[in-house]
Homo-oligomer: A and B are copies of this chain.
Amino acid sequence: MNALLVVAHGSRRQQSNDEVFQIADKLRVSCHDDYSIVHSGFLELASPSIPDGIEQCINDGATHITVLPYFLNSGRHVVEDVPDIVKTVSQQHPGVDIVIAPHLGASPLMVDLLINSAKSVPRPHIA
């Protein structure tokens, strides 16, 4: 079974963490045919941790987990911290494939998303 794990930084502000859970909820509805398991994990400041999120996926029966870094930039968290944590947990579960998707800013759809956001607010006229 395929799982998605949405991995975010985590915040002291619970509303920001809740927004990550809400994204996971939307994914659970939208891509159930491809990914029957969806969980969240936080690098710091919030629960569950990334290892706990991976364990939740495995406990639900995941044999393949795609980690989705909910980060905009390819900073240290994306390049080092998340891969290091995933590698450590992965070694404890040799029967489970775990892959890491690109961070959000690398998506070819980001420009479309930004244009869509821009057009969602009123403009008095077109250039």
A residues bordering B, Cβ < 8 Å? 1-2, 4, 6, 8, 11, 13, 15-16, 19-20, 23, 26-27, 30-31, 33-37, 64, 66, 68, 70-76, 97, 99-102, 104-127
**In the complex the two chains form, is A125's CB within 8 Å of B64's CB?**
yes
**In the complex the two chains form, is A101's CB within 8 Å of B123's CB?**
no
Name the distance in Å between A115's Cβ and chain B's nearest Cβ: 5
**In the complex the two chains form, is B97's CB within 8 Å of A124's CB?**
yes
* Known interface pairs A97-B124, A101-B120, A118-B101; A111-B26 also in contact (CB < 8 Å): yes
Interface centre among A20, A23, A115 (most CB of B within 10 A): A115
Cα separation A55 to B109 with both chains bound (whole Å): 29
**In the complex the two chains form, is B99's CB within 8 Å of A122's CB?**
yes
15 contacts between A and B (CB under 8 A): A19-B105, A23-B110, A27-B114, A34-B126, A64-B124, A66-B118, A97-B124, A101-B121, A102-B117, A102-B120, A104-B113, A108-B116, A109-B113, A109-B116, A110-B113
